[in-house]
Amino acid sequence: MCGEGGCGCCVVSATKTDLLSNEQVTLAINSCLCPLYSINGWSITTVEGIGSSKKGFHPVQKRIAEYNGTQCGYCTPGMVMSMHSLLQKIPEPTKQIVEDNFDGNICRCT
């Protein structure tokens, strides 16, 4: 991990209560930039938390594997969590929204 928020490999889903609307909102955040005290009370989900070989994979994980969407695997957890967080907010995003969503993720293989 870069430790600077530049690569997106450490992205996790963070769910918190919006103070204005009192609704739960899910965000994709770079965990390397978030000290624990700054996310007190938030629910954090890692790539291991959405699916595994033991409990079954999340649809995003399945699609990446099924369509050979990874090369070395370094960026894959961040890509999965960015997409997972987006789908929590927008269940049917447009192609442009998906493309914009990956703006903070870097794949060094391509």
Span 60-99, pLDDT tens digits: 999 999 998 888 888 899 999 999 999 999 999 999 999 9
93 falls within a domain: yes
Total structural domains in the chain?
A: 1
Q: Find, among 67, 49, 65, 59, the residue nearest to 83 by Cα.
A: 59
pLDDT-derived band at 1 (thresholds 50, 70, 90) equals: low
109 falls within a domain: no
What pLDDT shows up at residue 30? 94
CA distances from 22 to 17, 19, 39, 60, 89 (A): 6, 5, 17, 28, 15
Q: Please give the distance of CA 76 from its chain centroid, rounded to a whole number.
A: 10
110 falls within a domain: no
Specify the CATH number for the domain of residue 85. Answer: 1.10.150.120
Q: What angle do CA 54, 83, 86 make, to 5 degrees?
A: 125
CB count in 10 Å sphere of residue 81: 28
Q: What are the pLDDT digits (tens) for 19-57?
A: 999 999 999 999 999 999 999 999 999 999 999 999 999
Whole-model pTM: value is: 0.84
Which residues span the domain enclosing 68?
11-102
